Amino acid sequence: MTELWAALEGSGLAAQVRESAVLYPAANVLHVLAVLVFFALVAAMDLRILRVLRGPPPARVVAQLRPAATGALTVIVATGVLLLLPEATRIVRNPAFLAKLAVIGLAVVNLAANDVALRRGGDRSFAVQATAGVSLASWLAVAALGRLIAYV
Ligand code: HEM
């Protein structure tokens, strides 16, 4: 695994990000903007499921907003990789980064559970409500851990 991170750090793309004056800051700004959009969409879906927000049926809200949330998450992952590449060997040993990846894993599994629960149990089931709460908490934790990477 260590060789993989070293190879990524030594790649042409990593060198380009390191040497360019704009690539790293641009990826960083895009990463943060996509996080903002992603979290706004996640909050709209989860708060509708939790009945904090009024509006169309939760399943319809989720069906309408999920494609945009998936698009924002794709931008987050792509720009996250650009942020990782230049110093991959150092960042993959950072405890906040490792915790962030673990919580992303949990959030994705929870998302799948929420999807199944919403289709099978209806939008008032305990499983749907619980996974909507876990979703809000876990994506917030991911964002906080992302910010912490620079400090630990
Ligand atoms: C596989 C997916 C991801 C990767 C590889 C990744 C990678 C990174 C890296 C390398 C940094 C810069 C750390 C530093 O050196 O300061 C960062 C920052 C950050 N990430 Fe991610 N990230 C990913 C997904 C996410 C997600 C899903 C969120 C939030 C929902 C997120 C939120 C943040 C935040 C808030 C920062 C701090 C930005 C700043 O302070 O300028 N990241 N990420």
Give me the residue spans of the domains in the chain. 2-151
137 lines ligand 1 (CB under 6 A): no
Residue that the structure tokens 């169309």 belong to: 56
Question: Each residue of 111-133: pLDDT tens digit?
Answer: 999 999 999 988 899 999 999 99
Region 24-36: mean pLDDT is: 98
pLDDT tens-digit map of 45-78:
999 999 999 999 999 999 999 999 999 999 999 9
Distances in Å between the alpha carbon of 33 and those of 13, 21, 26?
Answer: 22, 19, 10
**Beta carbons within 8 Å of 150's beta carbon, 6+ residues apart:** none
Q: Is 86 in the pocket of ligand 1 (CB under 6 A)?
A: no
Q: Ligand 1 pocket, 94 CB below 6 A?
A: no
N- to C-terminal Cα separation, the chain = 22
Going from the C-alpha of 18 to that of each of 80, 135, 145, the distances in angstroms are: 14, 34, 23
